[in-house]
Each structure stands twice: as C-alpha cells, then as structure tokens.
A and B are shown apart, each in its own frame.
Chain A
C-alpha cells in the first residue's frame, strides 16, 4: 500500500469490511474462546484464596464445636492437657510451652549461624566459592523432616547424652538444635538478599572511612538491612513453630509444662500427629481438639508474621 499511494481507501476495502463478512464466525469464536481461557486462568489464580478460606473455615468450624464443650478460660488457663484420658483436662499451655521451647532453642542455633553465614556469603566468599556453597547449604532445607527426626533421636541425642548425663531419650534440646540447623538456609539466604540490597555506595562510603569488611558488615550493612534480616528471623521462627516430624520423633508426645529444654515435651504439632495416628471417631472431642490446637498454631504463626511486617515497616531504610 505504501508503494502505491494512488490507490486509497476508496479502492481498498477497510480492514473491518474485509474481515467481518467472510470471517465473522471465526473471529467471534476466537474472541469467546479467549474469554473462556482467561476465565479458567482466573479461576486457577483464585484457588489460592479458596485455599485460605478453606483453611480458616475448617479451623474455625471445628474449633467452634470444640469450644461448645470446653470453656475458653479453661483452655487458656488450665495447666494440663489430657484430652485422651478418662478425666480429660483441656489446658493448651503445656503444648504452647513445648512449641515455644523447641522453637526458641532452634532460634538460638539458627540466628547467629544464619546471620554469620549471610555476612560471609555476601561480603567475604569469592563468587566461585559461593556458587558451590549456596546450593549445597540449601540442600539442607530439601531433606525430608522425618529424616531429620531420625537424626535427632538416634544420632544427636546419644551424643548429647555423653555431655549431659541424665538427658532423657526424648528431649526438646536435640529436636530444637536439629530444627535450628534445618532453618539456617532460610535465614541465611533471606538475610543475604537483604544485605546485598544495600546500595554499593553505602559500602564504599564505609570502606573509604577506613573500615574493614567486618566493621562495615556489623555497623553499616546490618543496621541498613535490618528490616530484611528481621523478616528472615520471623520467617525462620514460624518455620520452627510449625515443624512437626522432628519434634514428634525426638521430643516425645507427653504434654509437659516446662521451660527446660532438657526435658521431653509434646508440641502442638506433635499432639496433632499423635491423635491422628490413633483412629478417632469423627466428631469426638479429641477429634475436634486437634483443630483447636491447629487454630492456636495458626494464630501463633500469624502473630509472628504480622509482627514481622511491622518490624519491617518500622526499621525500613529507604534509599534513593
């Protein structure tokens, strides 16, 4: 058309006139099938919302049945959790302390190690070493947790017992340490991302003042990247709180109100596993109790995630 400016619209039919009569059905069909496909893709994306609604709905529905039988005050203040006994008591506290003690033990291991690894990988390791170290370290989070449980119970606990005579076979210490090692990659890779995101000019400014890499990392990079590092910690903690198989295998299934990691105690997750292994009739109080326990677990992780969000907001450094 461009080569022949003499022929104008009058001689050539417009695009619309050309396509509509001959291809009308085809185009319409195509348009409809485009819309149908888009709708199915949209449904797939909406499934994530459906899952959340499903989780919250099931937990609330079954917990409501549970709390129709058990008063919330008892649930929160009683110090015994003996749902499977003939004289059941429904105090969630021992399960919550079990969960907190194992998770805090895990954090005591994972926070320092994860942070040091993050600084090392981002500021010290040369790129070729990092290319090897990082994937290998991340394999830790690919290990099935039941294997970690085996390791905690049959490898780490006997070793710990040599140093700590009197340590029982099921204890929260060994389970917590293994969870801690498991979450190192979560914490280190998120913290590393946060440290890497600090603009290079800030690093150079620090070096120009004569600071070493260590001083730069501790006094400049970590404070600047604190919001990212804090959210890595929070994510690690919620992993530890939700961890199930390691504690179910290595920490025992006996609810125990204690803050001493050298004892065995059931966590919320271990209790759910223990009850699920037995054949409980649908609709019994014990059946409903695992949903109430699950709701508490969910609220705990939610609280940490919201806490992490505010932490991130409060300490965020914004760079131009």
Chain B
C-alpha cells in the first residue's frame, strides 16, 4: 500500500513537472521573439527619423535611407495582391463549388498541397528561367510581383476554400430555390459570406510576401537603387502609366540583407532599423488578421 502511494506521488510529481517544462518550452519561442524585437529596437530605433524614410541608400551609413526600398515593396505588393487574390479566390471557388470529383480535381488538390511545401527560393529559380529569360519580363517589379503571387497562391486558395466550406448548404439551396444560377449564388451569397475568412488569409499571405527575400534576390533584384520607378500617375493623357512595372527595384528585406552583410558596424544599425520597420509591418498585418478572424468567428452564427 505504501508502495502504491509512493508510486502515485512520484507519478504526480512528474506530471506537475511536465506542466512546468511545457510552459518553459512554449516560452523559448516567445522569449526569442521578444529578444529579437528588443535587439532590433535597441540597435535600430536611433536611426529611425524622417530622413531615414525619405533618403536613398548611400555609401555613408548615417545618410542612407530606405526610400527606394519601401516604394519598391509597396509596388511589388500591389502586383502580388492584384494577381494572387483574384486567381486564388477563383481557384478556391472552383474547387469548392464547381469541381467534379474526378482525377483532375484530385491532382489539382495534391498539387496545391505540394506547392505549399516547395522552398521559396525554388520559385525564384522558376521565375528567373521563365519570367526573366523566356518571357523577357526582365529583372522588374512585374517579375517580382508575379513571383511572390505564385508563392502565396496556395495560402490564398486554402484560406478561400476553408471559409467557403463553412457556409452551410441551406444558403445555397435557398438561392437555387429562388431560381438563381450557380454563378449568381456564388457571386451574391457564397463569396460575400466568406469575405472575412478570405481577407484574413490574404493579409497573412501578403505579410509572408513582404518578408520574402530569397526569390527576389534570385530573379536579380538590385541591392543598391538610388532612383524611384516611374510614377504610375502622369500629367499627360491618359494619366496612368504602367512604365513602373518594368522598372528595376529593391525591396526592404533585400535592403536589410545588403546592410547586414556589410562588415561596418554603422550599416548594421541601418539594417536593424529596416528590420524594425519590417517587423512592425508584419506584426501589424498579423494582428489585423487575428482580429478579423476573431470578429468574424464571433459574429457569424448560421
């Protein structure tokens, strides 16, 4: 009997111990995240000034800024979003609402799952061989935007499918009963009701794309750019120009990489400041996504 009590006590002790170990293990990740943000902030916050956002990169660390980098990031993201969102949502809608159950659909699904596991640099190689040299799009913003769009396509598709799947069939049947066609049902009911989930997925996908560096280096993004792409708005008719799409570019993570790989300490401070800006952007996007998910989950009751 005493043995049994001892045994029970020992097992309970181990159980309690594991609760502590588990919490600590969870904290390893969080402490790293905290240390990382703190480290960037300590090194970089001193460099954050109005000048840092409005200056081009420079040989002199103290005068260098991220103007060309954040403009480049914004433009690349516009191309990425304009490509990946319609394509991803359309593919998700097709797979959930239209696709027949056959080998082709199964193959598309297997493909999407596989693509999500392909290293991002491989997308860069594909874009280098295909977009840059076969389609002659050059080392341009357009190439970069398309590359990142392909990279995040699986995320958008999966998010779209998941939120469409949550819509109960009774909604569709009600629309059909009123004589709506399949597309009308999809356009007026299925897509609007799943917008929240799709939006969450799109934001998370774009926050991934903003931080991507390797595929853009592979397609030949420059690391030192002291000019801006042509403005999309012109003073002459037709007032909109797409010249900027073909412009060479740099983006924030590449600018940061360039500065971190220089030996001089002062450039590391610039890298930290850039990293801080990047972190704030991605964390904000993720916070917005989490908030959306929370709100939509709470609001919608079928």
Contact = CB atoms under 8 A, between A and B. Distances in A.
Interface residues of A, number: 80
A143 B211 contact: yes
Interface stretch (A4-12, A222-230, A269-277): A269-277
A61 B133 CA distance: 13
Interface string B11-34: 110110011011101101110110
B94 A142 contact: no
A310 interface: no
Interface stretch (A37-45, A68-76, A78-86): A37-45
Interface string B88-128: 10110111001100000001100110110111111111101
A49 B11 contact: no
Contacts of A87: none
Contacts of B67: none
Which are the 3 A-B pairs with shortest beta-carbon distances?
A242-B119, A120-B22, A144-B211
Contacts of A149: 257, 260
Contact of B217 (A51, A140, A185, A276): A276
A150 B271 contact: yes
B65 to A, nearest CB: 18
A62 interface: yes
A269 B98 contact: no
Interface of B: 8, 11-12, 14-15, 18-19, 21-23, 25-26, 28-30, 32-33, 35-36, 39-40, 43, 86-88, 90-91, 93-95, 98-99, 107-108, 111-112, 114-115, 117-126, 128-130, 133, 150, 153-154, 157, 181-183, 204, 207-208, 210-214, 217-220, 223, 253, 256-257, 260-261, 268, 271-272, 275, 278-279, 282-283, 286, 290
A201 interface: no
A121 B115 CA distance: 29
B191 to A, nearest CB: 11
B29 A137 contact: yes
Nearest to B132: A282
Interface stretch (A89-97, A212-220, A258-266, A312-320): A212-220
16 contacts: A52-B114, A55-B118, A144-B253, A147-B40, A150-B256, A155-B35, A181-B28, A181-B29, A212-B12, A214-B18, A242-B121, A242-B122, A244-B213, A248-B257, A290-B218, A291-B129
